[in-house]
Structure 1
């Protein structure tokens, strides 16, 4: 396989030379629906064409921001439901924070390829979450919470790291005040007005300090799990008229790609079983309960809108079920 985003003339010709079958493109059913190619509820679809796949056609199929002036004839392409193997290729692309599409072919007789099991790929996120352990921690006085420390978690075999910001001294007899905060480079660090993430981050830490203690789980799930590069692509699409949910769908992602098993595992490692969860998102409440954490109370966490994020917040309420 070759990630669609990594296609260039050299990589494409190399794959053709090593392939034992014609090339095909696998993409999410979401992206196929956006293109008008598939109205069924398929997780992933395989596209082939008698004329063969060129870089321009691949870019058009995989990337809604493609600059191709003359769209290819989609009616001439054959579309079939992807099997587990093809679906795993899409999962690999997502794990790499690339656009969720890949070029695939059967291996040629002389191909020296790396073999990875389908089950291993699909189970990777859960395995990584379940193998999280504490790897380091340090006292980090914060502007709004001087008595704070940061605890770093990492999977056993390396990989994505998550952080816990612990404010004050936790009382094991009292449900911990917590927040699950997905990292947001633009909002948390740059103060972007397109979202409310920066306000939520700093506001949560401040409220925890006022309450005497709390835990903010800083999860490596930029852009609701699609990564920073793809989030910036989604911003381009939002500027073209799509809302925050539809922009993700245009790129071929689900509206929310996050997995909250890492959060539950981090809480268990910290000895936390009962929580007061600061969130406006009912999905987070349900996810923690699903993974064995008792949610004693949902604590609203609302901040005033501005002219740049008003539509974003409205979409979160209307399409994602957030409570404001």
Structure 2
């Protein structure tokens, strides 16, 4: 799995379940690469008006397309990247082929997301066959097995909100992402801690972006946990390496560019061919388990996050609202969270 993700980031081909040899449209560089077919995500197919080409019985399935002429990498990138939609407005006509191995096709889309690239591939390009990295769809499930996640290290870490904090680092064998937790206050197994799941946001947490509310939410959560500790309670901040709700930094910035053109967060992600929500909540559940935490008071405005955690065995005894004032740059973002993704704002 790790080799397949690395291959896609470097522009090398992968072979999934012996069903397809796939060369990534975005990063691929094989000289003279061309193919009669392309594999694209269901979301990107909708943007390209190809929704009716999807597998009828499986509406969220990827789409395998062909055109009158073979696709080279330049044509494939024009189909994959919404930033090129205005440069190449005329696409198609395309026909769709039946996908024999849907599990392999879905695995390819997920591998692209994990690699942080656009989910589009040249299929069975002769130029890519020889060096392809083989991977099985079942490898993906094994790679996502949270049982592989373990505590790698921990240390006392005084922070601005409180000097009484411990940082705990978590590592999985094949996953290069290292998640961390901050345990604030004295851990008390008889008392449910105040917990915040915070997915990393470079632009908001570090650079102070006003386009989202991530930085202020992080700071406010730490202050709330420090106050909780001062009153005899405790808190846990899970800092998850899931930039852009799981689509990665580069794709998040691509979504920002589309937002500048007038699309909201949901539509921007879908035009990229990516899901609106791709965060891995079982990882958060495993982190809590390793910390010995099974019941929590969750700081969130998102009922779906409560449901996702309860689905994987975490008892949420209370949802604690975590709403902060908007600003002119993130007001529409917050409205979209309320109106389209069910946040209680």
Same fold (TM over 0.5): yes
Structure-1 separation of matches of 2:261 and 2:197? 30
Asked if 1:139 is matched to 2:160, the reply is no
1:267 to 274, 288, 296: 288
Equivalent residues of 1:93, 1:102 under 8 A apart = no
Match of 2:199 in 1: 182
Match of 2:184 in 1: 167
Distance 1:252 1:140, change over 3 A: same
How many residues are paired up?
313
Match of 1:52 in 2: 70
Distance 1:38 1:180, change over 3 A: same
Structure-2 separation of matches of 1:140 and 1:54? 52
Asked if 1:250 is matched to 2:271, the reply is yes
Match of 1:33 in 2: 46
Match of 2:215 in 1: 198
Shift of 1:159: 2.2
Structure-1 separation of matches of 2:86 and 2:189? 58
Structure-2 separation of matches of 1:81 and 1:132? 37
2:250 to 229, 252, 262: 229
Structure-2 separation of matches of 1:45 and 1:158? 28
Shift of 1:69: 2.9
Equivalent residues of 1:31, 1:253 under 8 A apart = yes
Equivalent residues of 2:36, 2:69 under 8 A apart = no
Unpaired runs of 5+ residues, structure 1, are 17-21
Asked if 1:89 is matched to 2:102, the reply is no
- Supply the RMSD in Å over aligned alpha carbons: 1.9
Match of 1:279 in 2: 300
1:289 to 310, 317, 325: 310
For residues 84-110 of structure 1, the C-alpha deviation after alignment (integer angstroms, 9 at most, x for no partner) is 223222222111011111222177998
Structure-1 separation of matches of 2:241 and 2:215? 15
Match of 1:241 in 2: 262
What is the SS of the residue equivalent to 1:57?
helix
Match of 1:19 in 2: none
Distance 1:294 1:24, change over 3 A: same
Distance 1:263 1:87, change over 3 A: same
Unpaired runs of 5+ residues, structure 2, are 1-21
Q: TM-score with structure 1 length normalisation?
A: 0.91
For residues 38-93 of structure 1, the C-alpha deviation after alignment (integer angstroms, 9 at most, x for no partner) is 23523201111231102332122111001663434422x22235422232222221
Match of 1:116 in 2: 135
1:305 to 305, 322, 326: 326
